[in-house]
Amino acid sequence: MIEIKNLTQIYASKKGIFDVSFTVKKGEVFGYLGPNGAGKTTTIRGILGQMNINEGYIRINDLDPRVDIVKINKLIGYLPGEMAFFDHYTGKQFLDFICKMRKLEDFSKRENLNEMFELDTKGLIKKMSKGMKQKLGIVAAFMHDPDILILDEPTSGLDPLMQNKFLELILSEKKKGKTILMSSHIFEEVERVCDRAGIIKEGRMIAIEDFSEKEKKVADIYLITLKKPNDKLLSSGLDVIKKNDTVYQISVKDNYKEFLKTLSTYDVIHIDHKKQSIEDIFMTYYGGHQHD
Amino acid sequence: MIKSLFLFNLRENKILIIAFSLIGTLYATVSIGMYDPSSAEALEAMLDLLPEAMIRMMGFDQIGGDITHYVSNYLYGFIMLLFPVIFSIMLGTKLVSKYVDQGSMTYLLTMPYTRRKIVITQAVFFALSLFVIIFFNVLVIIVMSESMFPGSLDIWKFIMLNLVTYAVHLALFGLTFLCSVLFSDSSKSLGVSGGILISFFILNMLSSISEQTEFLKYFTPFTLIDIEHILASGGNGVLGFIFTLITAIAIFIVSIEIFHRKSIII
């Protein structure tokens, strides 16, 4: 279990995190959402016991990371935001080194993960692509089967297929009762695997959302292109905004049946699913109110 | 001490250690090869051609006499001061600051060890690699002079000189290590520690130029490597050695505690 209360850490640049509080319960997957530079990595540094926090309280299984780091590190698997080191090691040498550092003797999970992510560990890390390094980091974080996983933007650099595999891995670890904290700036992946998510902006936690609630709050947004302009669509009862001559934006929550029925009567030539930025989501959540 | 981290360091830095050991031994080989007891006068005549201040700066003014004096002055007045200093600055910056800067320290610190254990491993690794470099140099000099001029090298006094040299370099490395621990920006660490160590080195050279500059010797630890004094009194070097060693250890303890307490923010 990870507990953070009133955590404040201000850098010389006046940036940082301010009065952040949240709890990740045992067996829970908690998403930590926010744009780049919002303070996600700073919070993670605090959890890892690497900084002397200005104010607040951090506990992992009731242990203080600044005091009981050895006990905590035995429980934790950590994936850094960027794997920019151990350059002239091969993937295998790097994993061997981490296994030795952790005194790990059971390599079965490591091998399973290698296979799952189709990881080629023969090459030098220096020459690996960002995605390959990311996969290597994932294997290193999970291979000792830790109870708690701290993952800093785990899907960045992965192709969609591997992102999917990773999210499946998260779900299967969750089933085993692992406690997982994953930061991200992609709402969809967090919504898919997390039980709850904290949304952080400019160092402040602005909301903690519970995804297990039945009602879907965030609409899917589609851009529909018609062959000819037809403004009748605007009065169809759906949530439609005209984008330009032939392009209409439609927000759909759980009314897909109506959405499909309506569209079938129009001359649609293209449908595009619009990925939403976190800012868009804030707007949908809070109707454009400014939250401080 | 963490064995796997120690081996990791060895792997990362073996080329640096081998290179510095080789340069040292190469220099030692050449210097002994050049020694010819009967032609000490010829050497002095050659040195007469150079400006006197320059000879003193290089520590060559006492170069005449027996092989012990010759080797000691030839190597320990300049080369054995400069090479280990460059080695210290390079390795010292790398062992902590560069790893913090790169982000690999953040990663290492998520392994199940205390920060103290990790940073002690780094310090011990340096102390041993410095020892290896000086040890090879001493070994080559002793073996070569014993085979070429059996019995003429005063081995114990020579070893004493090396122990003092090692202790001084260890203390200087302590300063590099301190900078490395203090600065999370490796270029800052390199700049500050390089600046301090090179200044000590230059002060040492300047102090030997003339009587007017002699007072500068009180501002540089290299003065502790007093070749004439150690060779003359032999055993009296022990006190200096112990004093310097204790200073070095104290600097290391301070560095370790700073690292244990600091925020690793990059």
What pLDDT is stored for residue B245 in this prediction? 93
- Find the CB nearest A73 among B4, B110, B265: B110
Helices B155-182 & B237-261, crossing angle to 10 degrees?
Answer: 20
pLDDT of residue A291: 43
- What is the pTM (predicted TM-score) of this model? 0.83
Please state the domain extents for chain B: 3-261
A98 vs B261: CB contact, 8 Å cut-off? no
- Interface contact B104-A70, CB threshold 8 A: no
Strand, coil or helix: A70: helix
Shortest CA distance from A97: residue in chain B: B4
pLDDT at A216: 60
Q: How far is A176 from chain B (nearest CA, A)?
A: 23
Tokens at A196, concatenated: 């709850």
Calpha distance B179→B101 (Å, rounded)? 13
Among A51, A84, A100, whose Cβ lies nearest the Cβ of B263? A51
What chain A residue is nearest to B99 in terms of C-alpha separation?
Answer: A85
Kind plus residue range of the DSSP H or E element containing B93: helix B79-93
B30's tokens:
């050449």
The predicted structure's pLDDT at residue B259: 95
Which residue in this structure is represented by tokens 């499909």? A260
Minimal C-alpha gap between A263 and chain B (Å): 52
- DSSP letters spanning A98-167: HHHHTT----HHHHHHHHHTT---SSBGGGS-HHHHHHHHHHHHHTT--SEEEESSTTTT--HHHHHHHH
Alpha helices in chain A, H assignment, sequence order: 40-47, 69-75, 91-101, 108-116, 130-142, 160-175, 187-193, 256-264, 278-286
> Which residue on chain B is closest to A16 by alpha carbon?
B265
Those residues of chain A that have pLDDT short of 50 are 214, 288-292
Give me the residues of A, 115-134, that contact B with CB < 8 A.
Answer: none
Residues of B in contact with A78 (CB under 8 A): 107, 110
Question: Which pLDDT score, from 0 to 100, does residue A26 have?
Answer: 94
Q: Which value does ipTM take for this structure?
A: 0.83
The shortest CB-CB distance from A84 to any of B5, B102, B265 is to B102
Nearest-Cα distance to chain B for A156, in Å, is 17
Name the residue facing A78 among B8, B110, B261 (closest C-beta).
Answer: B110
**pLDDT of amino acid B6:** 96
The partner residue sitting opposite A101, judged by closest CB among B4, B106, B115, is B4
Query: Does residue B151 come out as left (phi exceeding 0), alpha (psi in the -120 to 50 range) or beta?
Result: left
- Nearest Cα residue in chain B from A68: B114
* Inter-chain contacts counted by CB atoms under 8 A, chains A and B: 59
Among B2, B110, B114, beta carbon nearest to A76: B110
Distance (Å) from the alpha carbon of B8 to chain A's nearest alpha carbon: 8
CA of B238 vs chain A CAs: smallest distance (Å)? 39
Yes or no: say if A165 and A113 are a contact pair by the CB < 8 Å rule: no
Cβ neighbours of B112 (radius 10 Å): 17
Tell me the per-residue pLDDT of B61-74, one tens digit each, with 9 for 90 and over.
666 668 888 888 88
Contact A29, A174 (CB under 8 A): yes
Which segments of chain B have a pLDDT < 50? none
